[in-house]
């Protein structure tokens, strides 16, 4: 057994060979890419699918009666089938958007404006990414809903006692919450939350931007009403994301944007809307990117989420153990159920300096508030560094991070 597979039985070197960028040098050093939670690298299968589309099967979709358009439309719609199977949804329930952010905005501006009325409450949590916070503030200011914030515990888990109180007056109509925190790594108990929301006559939207990369998601089993994610974190291209919505909800929602492809008929007096999902896909979509996302789903599905989740659990355990040996390093989040995202602070060194000095060693981590400014403040901080793992991350890279952090401490004389 090679060193690469000895840790958890996952042949990470085979996976790495699929990602051309991982053999690039950065500042003359081997790239150690620990920023997959911001955006993941792309396997050759995704790159090839996109290039093949542009070289051999490209035209606008749903418009032409010619061979190229029909082939390209087939490929585009095949990708929708792949996403539907991936989430265990029906194809009509899969709307292609630009990213998770657009998915949340779409729900806020269509479901929010049509199904919610002034005085209804929407609940988010203290650990939301701005993508699942700002759209609800906008809806609050435009439409008069109330926005309530569910507390987290110091361990970084949802506080169910607080949630009970927040729902107690019966005015909450939507719980919009992350499936996995991009800062704390916390997985939220989505089955329980969906039951809880439904028991209180509320719908649930899950922000799956992080979770969908690391574990299998079955929207029917969860009983999610809406689920959003981005292609670029799932080893697919940027520029495409997914909104899943239960069919009856999408059917009742007005369009988000008007234009070509989302209509049934148009006259100067009046237009009528196409059925979902097309009602929500105005204009020429991200054709090549959607096809690339389909290839990404094929890629991760072939590896399988049992293997992916086991590998990432092993990486996370290793990271927590190794980082615990560094004096003055504090990791954030102690949730029971957590994934491969480890944010930390280093005494006496600003997170931006940590990231800059690691970069000089070829190690890419993120620093800042990670688009979760209120959470960072809730933790009493202004910024943190964050290492995040993907299917191609090795245990050796985590050791390299630890060694790199010790060098950072030396530079700062700590």
Q: Is 105 in the site for ligand PMP (CB under 6 A)?
A: no
Distance of closest approach, residue 211 Cβ to ligand PMP, in angstroms: 8
Total residues in contact with ligand PMP, by rule CB under 6 A: 13
Q: Least distance from C-beta 413 to ligand PMP, angstroms?
A: 34
Catalytic residue among 371, 391, 398, 402: 371
Of 101, 188, 316, 409, which lies in the binding site for ligand PMP, with binding defined by CB under 6 A? 101
Site track for ligand PMP across 179-218, x = CB under 6 A: ---x------------------------x-xx--------
Taking the C-alpha atoms of residue 23 and residue 135, their distance in angstroms, rounded to an integer, is 39
- 342 near ligand PMP, rule: CB under 6 A: no
Does residue 371 touch ligand PMP according to CB under 6 A?
Answer: yes
Which of residues 127 and 163 has its CB atom nearest to ligand PMP in the complex? 127
- Compare residues 99 and 345 and give the one whose CB is closer to ligand PMP: 99
* Minimum distance of ligand PMP from residue 182's CB (angstroms): 3
**Which residue is it, tokens 């905005």?**
105
Whether 371 is catalytic is yes
Q: Which is nearer to ligand PMP, 12 or 40 (CB)?
A: 40
* Minimal distance, residue 412 CB to ligand PMP, in Å: 28
36 binds ligand PMP (CB under 6 A): no
Report the interface residues with ligand PMP, using CB under 6 A.
99-101, 129, 131-132, 178, 182, 207, 209-210, 230, 371
Residues with catalytic annotation?
371
């Amino acid at each position: 057994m090679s060193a690469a597979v000895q840790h958890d039985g996952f042949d990470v070197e085979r996976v790495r060979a699929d990602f051309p960028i991982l053999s690039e040098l950065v500042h003359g050093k081997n790239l150690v890419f620990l920023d997959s939670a911001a955006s993941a690298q792309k396997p050759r299968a995704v790159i090839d699918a996109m290039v093949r589309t542009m070289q051999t099967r490209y035209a606008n979709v749903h418009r032409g009666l010619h061979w190229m358009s029909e082939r390209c439309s087939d490929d585009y719609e095949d990708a929708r089938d792949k996403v539907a199977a991936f989430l265990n949804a029906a194809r009509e329930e899969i709307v292609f958007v630009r990213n998770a952010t657009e998915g949340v905005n779409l729900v806020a501006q269509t479901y929010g404006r049509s199904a919610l009325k002034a005085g209804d409450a929407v609940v988010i949590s203290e650990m939301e990414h701005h993508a699942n916070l700002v759209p609800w503030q906008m809806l609050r200011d435009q439409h008069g809903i109330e926005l309530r914030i569910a507390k987290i515990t110091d361990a970084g888990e949802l506080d169910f006692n607080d949630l009970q109180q927040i729902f107690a007056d019966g005015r909450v109509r939507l719980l919009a919450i992350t499936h996995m925190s991009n800062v704390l790594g916390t997985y939220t108990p989505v089955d329980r939350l969906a039951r809880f929301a439904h028991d209180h006559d509320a719908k649930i939207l899950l922000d799956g931007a992080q979770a969908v990369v690391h574990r299998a998601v079955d929207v029917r089993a969860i009983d999610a009403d809406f689920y959003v994610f981005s292609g670029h974190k799932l080893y697919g291209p940027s520029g495409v994301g997914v909104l899943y919505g239960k069919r009856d909800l999408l059917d009742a929602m007005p369009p988000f944007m008007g234009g070509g492809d989302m209509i049934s008929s148009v006259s100067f007096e009046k237009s009528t809307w196409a059925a979902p999902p097309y009602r929500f896909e105005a204009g020429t979509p991200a054709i090549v990117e959607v096809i690339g996302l389909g290839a990404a789903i094929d890629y991760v599905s072939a590896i399988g989420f049992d293997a992916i989740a086991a590998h990432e659990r092993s990486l996370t355990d290793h990271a927590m153990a190794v980082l615990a040996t560094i004096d003055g390093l504090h990791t954030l989040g102690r949730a029971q159920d957590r994934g491969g995202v480890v944010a930390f602070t280093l005494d006496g060194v600003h997170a931006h300096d940590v990231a800059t000095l690691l970069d000089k060693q070829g190690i890419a981590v993120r620093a800042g508030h990670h688009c979760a400014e209120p959470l960072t403040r809730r933790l009493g901080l202004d910024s943190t560094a964050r290492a995040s793992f993907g299917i191609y991350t090795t245990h050796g890279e985590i050791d390299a991070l630890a060694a790199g952090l010790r060098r950072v401490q030396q530079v700062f004389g700590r």
